[in-house]
Amino acid sequence: SLGNVKTAALAIDATADAVVLVGVMSLLNAAGRIVWGATSDKIGRENTMVLMFITLAVGMFAFAYMSTIAISWIAVMAIASLIGFCFGGNFALFPSVTADFFGSKNVGKNYGVMFTAYGIAGITGAFVAGPIVDATGSYFMAFVVTGVLAIIAVLFTLVLKSKRKNV
């Protein structure tokens, strides 16, 4: 999440520019909301989610790799921007998908329940990743696990897409 970017940037020696990194990632997060939303209007929500989750997985695996080598600031900025761009898509796509699957009558309540998972993930992610980072001195496994979870999200999205066609 954006809250962890500064710490991750500092861990890979992007010290002085960590604030710039968070700012750029936030801008791409905002752009991602618009671009992923517009993309979903053109190619469908599930197709867009698959594309977004694959892009996120690539970014996370790239960050995992970058945490093991000496890298340029530009590479860190590019991958962080890509990840921020994908995070923004969540806020465009998830409310729409909630309405698509459960109807618009109770979309506020349904999305509120669904979005609670985002909060739970934010809390548990820190509790899981923190001790791993403390033990290993690296964010490598945190990035790998997040990349794997993004791939699992692709699979779940494909299952949802097939179920929706059968409804």
SS3 category, 153: helix
- pLDDT confidence of residue 14: 54
pLDDT digits (tens, 9 = 90+) for 114-161: 889 888 988 888 888 888 888 988 888 888 999 999 999 999 999 987
- Across the range 19-46, mean pLDDT stands at 92
> Given a cut of 90, is residue 12 above it in pLDDT?
no
Structure tokens that stand for 127 in this block? 């509790």
Please state, in angstroms and rounded to a whole number, the distance separating the CA atoms of residues 88 and 90.
5
Secondary element (H or E) of residue 85: helix 73-102
> Given a cut of 70, is residue 36 above it in pLDDT?
yes
Give which of 72, 76, 118 is closest to 93, Cα–Cα.
Answer: 118
Q: Tell the burial category of 48 from Cβ atoms under 10 Å away from its Cβ (0-12, 13-18, 19+).
A: buried
Q: Are 140 and 67 in contact (CB under 8 A)?
A: yes
Domain extents in the chain: 2-166
Count other Cβ atoms within 10 Å, centred on residue 100: 16
SS3 category, 101: helix
Please state, in angstroms and rounded to a whole number, the distance separating the CA atoms of residues 55 and 98.
22
* pTM as predicted: 0.83
pLDDT digits (tens, 9 = 90+) for 48-97: 999 999 999 999 999 888 877 777 778 888 998 999 999 999 999 999 99
Please state, in angstroms and rounded to a whole number, the distance separating the CA atoms of residues 139 and 38.
33
> Given a cut of 90, is residue 11 above it in pLDDT?
no
> Given a cut of 80, is residue 46 above it in pLDDT?
yes
Was domain 2-166 assigned CATH 1.20.1250.20? yes
Confidence band, pLDDT 50/70/90 cuts, at residue 5:
low
Q: Are 71 and 11 in contact (CB under 8 A)?
A: no
Instruction: Collect all residues with Cβ–Cβ distance below 8 Å to 99 and sequence separation of at least 6.
Output: 107, 110, 111
